[in-house]
Amino acid sequence: MKQLFVKKENSPRLLLFFAGWGSDENLFRRTVAEGYDCLLCFDYRTLEFDYSLLDGYREIRLLAWSMGVWVAGQILSEHTYPWEMKLAVNGTPFPIDDRRGIAEAVFHGTLENFSDATLARFRRRICGGAGQVKEFLSHQPYRTTEELGAELAALEHEVGKVQPAAFVWDKAIIGLCDKIFIPANQRAAWTGTGVMEVEAEHYDTVLFDRLLEGKGEEWTRR
């Protein structure tokens, strides 16, 4: 895993962001909430994590998106931190699951047939409309198709060999237009967790701008 401070001002608070599969820092060069450093985690070809980077922070906001929801739960379940809030977005603790995540046949088929064309179709699918696709491409991750295929294979292997972590989230955000983690499956996964439903695609720039800036009702517990 790669861990990169996209904002480091020695603030007492940290926004710890586990991005989705295929991400990098270019995709999330956005304004971060005042008073927070921001540590971005991505590239899950391995799940090695440097916990020392979290030392010294008085409060930590946890934000996880897509496959990053599962990764964050696995990485952090046996550790205690001064959580301000833990927010999951368009992902579940059961990422490869016919009822609570991405259908197994869909996930495996994507991996088996992975190519430049597959990647292009996936990116159109996560964005929805043409405007969102254009915005995504303006922040397109600087990663090769081969690297992304290896990351996808590593995730399938890791998810298949371990049980979902017993990690408690404060709230789950469900994008009603999500075509990757479909809303019905997200709802099935989050029984017992507070849910907020929003009009958003799987990747939604307006939503991410709001989350990273710390604005909106998403960062409230109601």
What was the pLDDT predicted at 132? 84
DSSP-based helix, strand, coil % in the chain, nearest 5: 40, 20, 40
Q: What is the model's pLDDT at position 62? A: 98
The reported pLDDT for the residue numbered 201 is: 96
* CATH number of the 2-219 domain: 3.40.50.1820
Q: What is the DSSP string of 73-134?
A: HHHHTT----EEEEEEES--S-SB-TTTSB-HHHHHHHHHT-SHHHHHHHHHHHH-SHHHHH
The confidence score (pLDDT) of residue 29 equals 85
pTM recorded for the entire structure: 0.96
pLDDT-flagged residues of the chain (< 50): none
